[in-house]
Amino acid sequence: MPRLAAMALLALCVADVGARAQTDEDDAPDTDHFRSAFAAGAPRHFIDAVLLGSVPGALAAARALPQGVNTPGGHGHTALEAAVWRDDVTMVRALLDAGAHPDGEPHRAPIGLAFQRGAVDSGTAIADTLVKHGAHIDGDSYGQTAMGLAASTGRLDVVEALAALHADMNRGLGDEQSALLSAAETGHWRVVAWMLNHGGDLWTSDRFGSTLGDTAQRAHDPRIDAAQPAAEREALDRVIATLKKRGFPWPPPSPAHVMNAQARGAWPPGATAGDGVGALASPSSDDHVRHF
């Protein structure tokens, strides 16, 4: 194939991928997606002013729109979500004072993006401002909460900031796992250790029967343990010691055993008479508990 023809074909392929990315239902929050979500004309002028950080321009453009500052773009994007993503505290306050809905559109809670740019101080200021204007601290942002995202990425500093705002570490959205269990599943044991000392529920489990005990035991496998940073290995040892000290059955029951207990309403242990810690800690013939 001639060189120019090959380059032209490559350009068409890249353009096609870009076009499909812009219409993907799972689009990520970024400048291009925010801009393309708002139609050309007045809506685009509005979001452009927000993305440029121009409060006067944004408010003036909003007045030309029927829904004002609450004008939604495609995929449920809002100007407030974009301002939070930009880490623009001033714009966030201006939009909220102008009547922006603090929880945004369904599955696009702005608060979930408060710490995306990595700045804890400004993220905390934005989250606090949103909460004071009525936002739900555990709002659904792209299928997860701010606490769930922070826990699963090991951001202990963000976890601490969100906990101070009363974010829930023990329950996930719908039937999703808790932030505490997410931290364990992703190997962030420093976060788990901190949570267990600040209101974390050691009995947290998900619909697949995973628990802190089962996850910690798997992580303690020498092949996995050796690959972890020293700080995480030390934190894992502390988590296991804490679980044992507080009465978590050890060796821990398998996920299948926990699911069976959940079905009987017997998880956490002691939920019903006769289904205590001892019963769960004893494996049946067809549900063996793993040992170190």
Residues in the chain, total: 292
Residue 175 has a pLDDT of 81
Query: How many C-beta atoms lie closer than 10 Å to residue 198's C-beta?
Result: 12
- Tens digit of pLDDT per residue, the chain (292 long)? 444 343 333 333 333 333 333 344 557 788 899 999 999 999 999 999 999 999 999 999 999 999 999 999 999 999 999 999 999 999 999 999 999 999 999 999 999 999 988 689 999 999 999 999 999 999 999 999 999 999 999 999 999 999 999 999 999 888 889 999 999 999 999 999 999 999 999 999 999 999 999 999 999 888 776 777 889 999 999 999 999 999 999 999 999 999 999 999 999 887 543 334 444 443 433 333 333 2
Return all residues near 10 (Cβ < 8 A) that are at least 6 apart: none
Vertex 269 angle, CA 265 and 272, to 5°? 50
Cα 85 to Cα 50, 88, 141, 147, 231: the distances in Å are 11, 8, 12, 16, 31
> Tokens in use for 109?
């809670």
The crossing angle, in degrees rounded to 10, of helices 212-219 and 230-245 is: 140
The residue among 174, 72, 162 whose CA lies nearest residue 115 is 162
Return all residues near 24 (Cβ < 8 A) that are at least 6 apart: none
H helix or E strand, kind and range, residue 130: helix 120-132
Q: φ and ψ at 108, to 5 degrees?
A: -135, 45
Q: Which residue has the tokens 């239902």?
A: 25
Residue 6 has a pLDDT of 38
Peptide bond into 2 cis (omega under 30): no
